[in-house]
């Protein structure tokens, strides 16, 4: 125990003298977390809120166009404006406002829209009531509601705007159809009664069939409820903070390979490791002491990044990092990740022959593993072959485990597979290191 403790203290003393390595381990992930979170936070907020605004150019002015403008202005995901600075919007004004950045799109309600919709609905209702396949004039093309977008507007926003306009148009058209259908049914009922009574039935003072209202459109009989998938049923929004804090903490933890491999190579080159081998200390104690020191550094590093997400990022305007009620499982994932990172660093320090080899190979491998593991780009956004390759990234295993706990609200039984892979990776790298060390000092 005392030999293990002495080895651990020795490693911490050596590491404390490596100020560049400490700066790399603690400052780099902290800066990455702050920078990437602030950049992505605004993007995610805009994607979630769809804060795009547009103008409505009403060239028709009829009742259908007025109802359509009212429906568009009542939309809750996209903002529509029919009057700007107290006056109706023209197509030229809307185009100029898009060029100036005031709006991102505008919609044009063409002249003759009301007449075309009413005529089309009348033909359709007449066809229904007469049981005819076609009615003359029913297939005439109507005017088109045009959408004009800022060329820089992303596809997801365009799709949202198109969906809102299509729903509003369908809603107004359905309302017009219900009104015409109610009148047609009333006329049909009165005509049928007159035919059955031979003209002796008294004239009805009011409608026999009630007017059809479009209440069904405003009050749907079935509701849509959207919730995230989680074992506890709690919904937790995937904020930029919840995704970036564990992601870049992992990235920083795996950079432990730089000082760890460098220390091993330096000890081998200066003969320190050979002198340690002749001392009455087993290789297992020496390796465990070195690993314990660097694993402790990784855990302290992870705690610092969590504090940055918990206390510093909210001061900059983001949401705070929330650990939730899975703190024990999160610490377990951090420990397994630290073991995997140190196992890789130990193997690199044993296999590499020079500091230059380790200094180049280590960071390159970590960056590649981070890219494949979804730290920089979500795995689902990668091509299929890259998604399959990403399954072999230790950073991807650890990141998936963190996301399961922090975003999907999963428990220990949902992450044991990732923990097993991380421990297996640590065991394999440790075994390789021991075998190579024995060959070196045989």
Q: In the chain, pLDDT over 90 holds for what percent of residues?
A: 8
Task: Work out the mean pLDDT of the chain and round it to a whole number.
Answer: 80
State whether residue 104 is helix, strand or coil.
Answer: coil
Under the banding of pLDDT at 50, 70 and 90, the label for residue 316 is confident
Token pair, residue 370, equals 């981070």
CA atoms within 13 A on the CB side of 305: 31
Q: Is the Cα dihedral 81, 86, 88, 92 positive or negative?
A: negative
State whether residue 421 is helix, strand or coil.
Answer: helix
CA atoms within 13 A on the CB side of 112: 7
More confident residue, 2 or 163: 163
- Taking only the tens place, the pLDDT of each residue in 232-280 is 555 555 677 888 888 888 988 898 888 888 888 888 777 777 777 677 7
Edge-to-edge strands, sheet with 146-149: 79-81, 53-58, 105-109, 146-149
Residue 437, pLDDT above cutoff 90: no
211-216 long-range contacts (CB < 8 A, ≥24 apart) are: 211/179, 211/182, 212/178, 212/179, 212/181, 212/182, 213/178, 214/171, 214/174, 214/175, 214/178
Distance (Å, whole) CA 327 – CA 306 = 12
- Taking only the tens place, the pLDDT of each residue in 333-362 is 999 999 999 999 889 888 887 877 888 888
Query: pTM of whole model > 0.85?
Result: no
Residue 211, pLDDT above cutoff 70: no
More confident residue, 268 or 204: 268
- Taking only the tens place, the pLDDT of each residue in 370-426 is 888 888 777 776 777 888 888 889 999 999 898 888 877 777 888 889 999 999 999
Query: For residue 341, which of 436, 246, 253 has the smallest C-alpha distance?
Result: 253
Q: Which of 25-34, 66-75, 230-239, 255-264 has the lowest mean pLDDT?
A: 230-239
First to last CA, the chain: 26
Provide the 10 A C-beta neighbour count for residue 44. 16
- At a CB cut-off of 8 Å and minimum separation 6, what does 332 contact? 412, 419
More confident residue, 228 or 337: 337
CA atoms within 13 A on the CB side of 335: 8
Run of H or E including 331: helix 327-351
């Amino acid at each position: 125990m005392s030999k293990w403790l002495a080895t651990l203290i020795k490693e911490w003393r050596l590491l404390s003298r490596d100020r560049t390595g400490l700066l790399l381990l603690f400052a780099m992930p902290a800066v990455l977390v702050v920078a990437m979170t602030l950049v992505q936070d605004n993007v995610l907020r805009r994607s979630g809120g769809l804060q795009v605004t547009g103008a409505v150019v009403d060239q028709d002015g009829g009742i259908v166009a007025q109802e359509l403008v009212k429906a568009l202005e009542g939309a809750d995901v996209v903002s529509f404006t029919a009057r700007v600075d107290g006056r109706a919007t023209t197509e030229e004004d809307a185009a100029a406002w898009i060029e100036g950045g005031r709006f991102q799109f505008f919609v044009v309600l063409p002249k003759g829209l009301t007449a075309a919709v009413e005529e089309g609905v009348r033909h359709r209702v007449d066809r229904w009531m007469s049981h005819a396949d076609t009615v003359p004039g029913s297939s005439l093309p109507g005017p088109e509601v045009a959408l004009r977008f800022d060329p820089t507007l992303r596809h997801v926003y365009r799709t949202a705007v198109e969906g809102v306009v299509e729903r509003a148009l369908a809603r107004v058209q359905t309302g017009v159809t219900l009104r015409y259908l109610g009148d047609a049914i009333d006329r049909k009922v009165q005509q049928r009664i007159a035919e059955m009574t031979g003209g002796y039935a008294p004239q009805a003072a009011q409608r026999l069939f009630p007017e059809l209202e479009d209440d069904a459109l405003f009050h749907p009989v079935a509701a849509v409820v959207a919730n995230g998938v989680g074992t506890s049923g709690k919904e937790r929004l995937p904020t930029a903070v919840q995704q970036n804090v564990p992601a870049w903490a992992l990235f920083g933890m795996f950079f432990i390979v730089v000082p760890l491999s460098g220390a091993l190579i330096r000890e081998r080159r200066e003969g320190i490791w050979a002198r340690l081998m002749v001392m009455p200390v087993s290789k297992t104690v020496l390796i465990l002491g070195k690993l314990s020191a660097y694993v402790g550094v990784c855990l302290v590093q992870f705690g610092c990044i969590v504090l940055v997400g918990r206390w510093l990022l909210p001061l900059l305007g983001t949401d705070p990092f929330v650990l939730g009620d899975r703190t024990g499982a999160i610490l377990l994932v951090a420990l397994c990740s630290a073991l995997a990172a140190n196992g890789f660093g130990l193997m690199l320090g044993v296999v590499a022959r020079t500091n230059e080899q380790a200094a180049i190979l280590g960071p390159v491998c970590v960056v590649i593993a981070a890219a494949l593991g979804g730290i920089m780009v979500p795995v689902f956004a990668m091509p299929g072959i890259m998604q399959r390759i990403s399954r072999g990234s230790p950073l991807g295993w650890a990141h998936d485990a963190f996301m399961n706990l922090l975003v999907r609200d999963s428990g220990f039984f949902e992450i044991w597979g990732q923990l097993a892979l991380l421990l297996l990776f640590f065991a394999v790298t440790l075994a390789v290191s021991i075998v190579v060390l024995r060959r070196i000092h045989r």
